[in-house]
Structure 1
Amino acid sequence: MQIFLDEIESRTPAGIAAAIGRLIASGALAPGDRLPTVREFAALLGVSPATISHAWQALGSVGLIVSRGRSGTFVLDTAPKWLPARSQSMVGRHQSARIDLSRGTPDPQLLPALGPALSRVSQRAVTPIYQDLPVIPELLTVLSESWPYPVESVTVVDGALDAISRSLDAVTRFGDRVIVESPGFPPFFDLLDQLGLERVPVDVDRHGIVPASFRAALTLGPTAVILQPRAQNPTGASMTALRAEVLAGLLAEHRLNADTVVIEDDHSGEISISPDVSLGRWLPNRVLHVRSFSKSHGPDLRIAALGGPASLVDPIVARRMLGPGWTSRMLQTILYDLLTSRESVDEISEARRIYFARQKALADALREHGLDLAQADGINAWLAVNDERDAIVQLAASGIRVAGGSPFFATEPAPAFIRVTAGALPDDIEPIAAALAAIARGANDGGNGVEAGSGRVPGVHSLEARWA
């Protein structure tokens, strides 16, 4: 019992929960350890059982402890083994939270209705021959015409990660180096580890990859670069055309990088408020651009477009013919309908407007509380905090769940950040903003994340000016 007395500084639900969270994070409490009963702990600390119950609820809501009825309350064991490493650290086997801003998924209410599109799909899953074109012609036309640069070849795959995985399979070999954003999307890091590829992290600011960091990484001779041009996960940063031109110029500058391939994950394009941008405008023969429709049209559609030079795309198509063959033409027909019908287009436009309004409301409300945060694009926002674990637990005690920032960094130790799914914010944002500002206030700006305020990083302006 002494371990609890030594750690607990504040005997409020939030203070108790934060202390237990620190003990779990440090390993002083291990997975499977049994905690005292509510009454035992209340008597030890001299507080009411209700205070301990509220602390336990906060810890349970962020997946740190679990109640097993009469058997007691235990430190939660590890996540399912079938999940990749970083996904295990993000998994949400939680009790319900009053407000869940942790998931990074679109608001289900803002996805377009599928009924009209489904009613226009054939009643039979017929395909004339297995070797037919993998993309239905009408969808291919729509995708090609909306691509951010003239493209030789476009195919359809089963979601953005499928596209990234197949692109890496096609252009890398075991031991190759791959540039990744840090912070970036955790499954990218897991994927590189699975493929035996070395991560080369680069910093990001509110305009995308920082040129000075990119230039340094290019000296290592990477085989590929993975970047998110719009609504970057987790920061919500969107790349400007000027920044894209700078990065393309740096790639073209050295012979060492003559064969480096850029893989772009445009996962939120349809709900982004930023213009479509791609390094393919300047390096069309070295860019594989991925456009996913999960955030805008529905994660369960499992569909994304992959486009680039035929020399890179055609081998990917050929390899898929020896696996899944093609992405369901029924799903392609549904996507085509959603991309072209007036009702669906209007629904997506309204979703984009609402996500923008929620991001703006969050940025404005935080500013009222003295926290200057640049408005993010897409559905996520990124906040620096003093202590990640304490921030998660304290917010959980207020009924708010957020995602910890450490899985999003490609290196350790990671700065203290949290990711907030602003796209899931309710109408009454004030109490949420007050809680977020309270835990973020005083944290150092910058680090490896997007800076509060200007979002500038020393040395960037002069480099951009050189390439403008």
Structure 2
Amino acid sequence: MRLLDLGQKVAWSRPPLEQRRKRDVTLQISGRAATDIAASIRELVERGTLRPGDALPPVRALADRLGVNRNTAVAAYRQLTQAGVVVTRGRGGTHVADRAPVAQEGFAADSVLRDVATGNPDPELIPDPSAALTRMAGRPVLYGEPVIDPGLESWADEWLRGDLAPADLRLTITSGAADAVERLLAQALVRDDAVALEDPCFLTSIHTVNVGGYRAVPVPVDDEGMTVEGLRSALEQGVRAVVSTPRAQNPTGASLSDERAAALRGVLAEHPYVLVIEDDHFSMLSREPFHSLIGPDHKRWALVRSVSKFLGPDMCLAVTASDPDTADRLAMRLTPGTTWVSHLLQRLVLALVTDPGVLAGIAAAKAHYGERNDAFAARLSALGVPTSAGDGLNLWVPLPVPARDVSEQLMRRGWLARPGDAFAIADSPAASRLRLTVHDLSEPDADRLAADIAAAVRAAGGRLVQPEVG
């Protein structure tokens, strides 16, 4: 028995297999120059010897083992960070970058469940372009010609100029808002630069920052948009860019109030060279007035408005108004690849947004989304899940229990909903929120979903709130 006990103690004292693997991998890192050390680590990653999430040895420990100066190890890690091979987590150390796919907007693939998590506009409310297509003919556009269609440029200038304080602006056309934001960040930042993002945040913005190798600094969002203290804290942490949704914030539906926007402009006035990007994605469909973070004297800024929500996601076009220097840099980012957005698409957009019938349809869609979200929020509130509708295509539903528990219960009832933690950057109340896209539900389906949410909350151990009478 004593021999058995001794054997067990010896076995228990051995390092776990995973620890031994990481130690052995560390011993395989070689090189004397920074480039050689970086190449050695990159090869270990490419062979799968180092896996996503694996921690690299601390700089001092690696330098001591290789017999090199500490600055040499720092330079090697910096090269890997700039190449997107590793990520730094401050005191958490340096880790192999995780290239796992991130959540995206849109329908869930291969699901038999009724998807109420899409974030899509109603296809019945997207304008039919058939008539406009017959009116957009024009001469061919050749290399070297202006990249913006003159008619669209004139219309877009009027669309954006009235909402901006800076008088000196230039316009750029990109293949949608996400394309604009990605290129705006790329022309201003390098890997590991810090970017202030709303928390919770639009999924595409999170993805853009992750793929670019930037560091997301969360700024909490309340009912009036970005919080003043949150933005001030992000600026104190050295962010070089701020990405904000001034109205219909996705997923919360929050819109900047006039007072909040003024307070945020006051904070940004002390940091005039921080790039401020406003993504006004809902624009023509919004029920809220536009209030900007961009002050009259801010030096680096861009306001992006796409047409995807009111003309359809496949209409990949966005207009960006920005200061002249940012516009020049954005245009330069376009030259190696896209160069310009098709003039055929530009003319089609212009034909649609200047058609009185299409504009009337957009106004009707605006009313529809607001009314349907208001009605569903009232349904939930009446069933003991107090909910208020913000602006936008979605509802942000507060729950008394973790949203993942409720979403699992909803799956058993035939629904696919998206828990709020998918949109979170840091630990936040988003984990107890559910984002729903309900504007296309029939009345019976809306009644059934509301009842199933209330039942799912109870099944997950939550208590419903009795609605007030009178």
TM-score normalised over the length of structure 1: 0.72
Any unmatched runs of 5+ in structure 2? 1-98, 465-470
- 3-state SS of paired residue (1:422): coil
Deviation of 1:237 after TM superposition, in Å, equals 1.1
C-alpha separation in 2, matches of 1:240 and 1:85: 35
The corresponding residue for 1:407 is 422
Check the 8 A contact 1:265/1:290 in 2, yes or no. Answer: yes
The answer for the alignment partner of 2:146 in structure 1 is 133
Residue 210 of structure 1 and its aligned partner are, at CA, apart by 1.3
Of 152, 159, 169, 2:169 maps to 152
Q: Residue 155 of structure 1: SS of its match in structure 2? A: strand
> CA offset at residue 183 of structure 1?
0.5
Letter of the structure 2 residue corresponding to residue 314 of structure 1: D
| Matching of residue 319 in structure 1 with residue 333 in structure 2 | yes
Q: 1:278 to 1:346 in 2, by over 3 A?
A: same
The answer to whether residue 210 in structure 2 is matched with residue 167 in structure 1 is: no
Question: In the alignment, residue 160 of structure 1 is paired with which amino acid?
Answer: A
- Once the two structures are TM-superposed, the CA of residue 162 in structure 1 deviates from its matched residue by 0.2
1:178 counterpart residue number? 195
Show the 5 A alignment for 1:117-132: 117-122=132-137, 126-127=140-141, 129-132=142-145
Letter in 2 for 1:419: R
Match of 2:287 among 273, 278, 292: 273
Which residue in 2 is equivalent to 1:291?
A: 305
Q: Deviations over 1:21-72 (max 9, x none)?
A: xxxxxxxxxxxxxxxxxxxxxxxxxxxxxxxxxxxxxxxxxxxxxxxxxxxx
Answer whether contact 1:135 1:155 (CA < 8 A) is retained: yes
Counterpart secondary structure, 1:302 = coil
Q: What's 1:210 paired with?
A: 227
Shift of 1:318: 2.6
On the 8 A contact 1:156/1:303 being kept in 2, the answer is yes
The one-letter code of the counterpart of 2:103 is S
> For 1:422-433, what aligned pairs fall within 5 Å after superposition?
422-428=438-444, 429-433=446-450
Aligned equivalents of 1:247 and 1:282: distance in 2? Answer: 13
Q: Partner of 2:366 in structure 1? A: 352
Taking the aligned partners of 2:100 and 2:250, their CA distance within structure 1 comes to 18
Give the aligned CA root-mean-square deviation in angstroms.
2.5
Superposition deviation, residue 283 in structure 1: 4.8
1:103-122 superposed matches below 5 A: 103-122=118-137
Correspondence for 1:397 among 398, 401, 412: 412
Cα pair 1:101 1:424 within 8 Å, conserved: no
Counterpart contact for 1:383–1:440, Cα < 8 Å: no
Matches within 5 A, 1:315-394: 315-385=329-399, 386-394=401-409
Letter in 1 for 2:436: V
- Which has the higher mean CA deviation after the structures are superposed, 343-352 or 426-435? 426-435
Match of 1:427, as an amino acid?
E
- Is the Cα–Cα contact under 8 Å of residues 236 and 381 in structure 1 kept in the other structure? yes
Partner Cα separation in structure 2 for residue 151 and residue 358 of structure 1: 40
Partner Cα distance (1:122, 1:89) in 2 = 34
Given that residues 84 and 190 in structure 1 are in contact (C-alpha distance below 8 angstroms), is that contact kept between their aligned partners in structure 2?
no
Q: CA deviation at 1:101?
A: 1.2
Report the Cα distance in structure 1 between the residues aligned to 2:168 and 2:123, rounded to whole angstroms. 32
Change over 3 Å in CA distance of 1:88–1:332 after alignment to 2:
closer
Q: CA separation in 2, counterparts of 1:218 and 1:437?
A: 41
Could you tell which deviates more after superposition, 105-114 or 181-190? 181-190
- Distance of 2:295 and 2:275 partners within structure 1: 14
Structure 1 residue 365 displacement after superposition: 1.4
Label 1:233 to 1:344 Cα distance change in 2 as closer, same or farther (>3 A): same
How many Å separate the matches in 1 of 2:298 and 2:269? 12
Partner of 1:248: 265
Residues 288-315 of structure 1: CA deviation (Å, up to 9, x unaligned): 1110111111100111111111110122
> Larger radius of gyration, structure 1 or 2?
2
Q: Which residue of 1 aligns with 2:63?
A: none
Deviation at 1:344, TM superposition (A): 0.5
Query: Comparing both chains, which one has the higher relative contact order based on Cα–Cα distances under 8 Å and sequence gaps of 6 or more?
Result: 1
Following TM superposition, by how much is the alpha carbon of 1:358 offset from its aligned partner in structure 2, in angstroms? 0.6
Identity %, equivalent residues? 32
Report the Cα offset of residue 439 of structure 1: 3.7
Q: TM-score, normalised by structure 2?
A: 0.71
Structure 1: how far apart are the matches of 2:295 and 2:177? 21
**CA displacement, residues 162-214 of structure 1 (integer Å, 9 cap, x when unaligned):** 00000001111222111001100122222212222111001101111111222
Q: Distance in 1 between matches of 2:376 and 2:181?
A: 32
Which residue number corresponds to residue 305 of structure 1? 319
Aligned to 1:376, the other structure's residue is in SS state: coil
The alpha-carbon deviation at position 258 of structure 1 amounts to: 3.4
Cα gap change, 1:118 to 1:427, in 2 (>3 Å): farther
Q: Distance in 2 between matches of 1:366 and 1:277?
A: 30
Q: State the partner residue of 1:237.
A: 254
Tell whether the 8 Å contact from 1:384 to 1:440 is kept in structure 2 after alignment. Answer: no
Q: Does 1:421 align with 2:437?
A: yes
SS at structure 2 position matched to 1:299: coil
CA contact (8 A) 1:86 1:407 kept: no
- Cα distance in 2, alignment partners of residues 119 and 297 from structure 1: 17
Distance 1:313 1:89 in 2: 28
Task: Provide Cα deviations, 1:224-274, integer angstroms capped at 9, x if missing partner.
Answer: 001111111111111122211111111113xxx331111111111111111
For 2:192 and 2:152, locate their aligned partners in 1 and report how far apart those are by CA, in whole Å.
37
Contact 1:366/1:373, CA 8 A, preserved across alignment: yes
